[in-house]
Amino acid sequence: MQQKEKNNWLPTSVKEVEERGWISPDVILFTGDAYIDHPSFGTAVVGKWMESLGLKVAVVPQPNWRDDLRDFKKLGRPNLFFGVNAGNMDSMVNHYTANKRKRSDDVYTPEGRAGARPDMPTVVYTRILKKLYPDVPVVIGGIEASLRRLTHYDYWKDTLQPGILYESGADLLVYGMGEKPLAEICRLLKRGVPFGNLTNIPQTCFLRDKGAPYATGKKWKTFRLHPHEACVRDKKLHAQNFRHIEEESNSIEAALSSPEH
């Protein structure tokens, strides 16, 4: 009974990975929160969801980004991809009050200890992983990534910032409740579809050079948003973008083009 209960936890160390008889995990999740196996923690939900799809999933909670980066190396390369999220709360809200004063505690860290995660861990963790493992895809998600998936206003810097994919260097962004897009991502990767071809999945964002081709099997209705540089010059253009983003984000179904278009 004790062994069965123990195996219900997602592994967080080399020893726990080896105890499961794995050579390497399929997916390694990095999170700014402590790992708590409870449905109020998004990393636990996402990890268990992918595990239910037949994947070997491990978690690295609150990795140390200020030492020799051993936490980012300890589990090695995943077979499919790294997943990164900042945690249950946007890191800047977690760290600062509305008056921009530094908070003295962190409720998602053991003993409420502050300082266990950096500002914008989605960006910090992803940059480290892309430097250590440049050829391994990184998927980002969670509230921090979702709120910053496109040009957005940064309250703490009092300026418009580009999308977090640009800042982090991640390969794919899953926004909102990620169970359905993650299931599709995992299904296609298990079939052997190259990661770079995962460009027609709802609730995802990716970057491509202007004019570069990308695979799509759906006839989506296209909204061309104003580019980041234009939004920086003209606040009204950013407001127009925001309206389109919010309307489409709250639609019951994604907008598809008619067959003749």
Write out pLDDT tens, residues 12-43: 999 999 999 999 999 999 999 999 999 889 99
Query: Do 193 and 204 touch, CB atoms closer than 8 A?
Result: no
> What one-letter code names the amino acid at 59?
V
Query: Do 181 and 202 touch, CB atoms closer than 8 A?
Result: yes
Give the pLDDT band (50/70/90) at residue 51: very high
- The pLDDT of residue 6 is 53
105, 137, 221 from 96: Cα distances, Å:
10, 31, 39
- The pLDDT of residue 256 is 58
Residues 6+ apart with CB under 8 A from 99: none
Q: Mean of the pLDDT values across residues 220-246?
A: 90
Q: In what order do the strands lie in the sheet with 204-205?
A: 57-61, 27-31, 81-85, 138-140, 172-174, 204-205
Q: Measure the CA–CA gap between 223 and 150, rounded to whole angstroms.
A: 13
Query: Do 163 and 205 touch, CB atoms closer than 8 A?
Result: yes
Q: Mean of the pLDDT values across residues 74-100?
A: 94
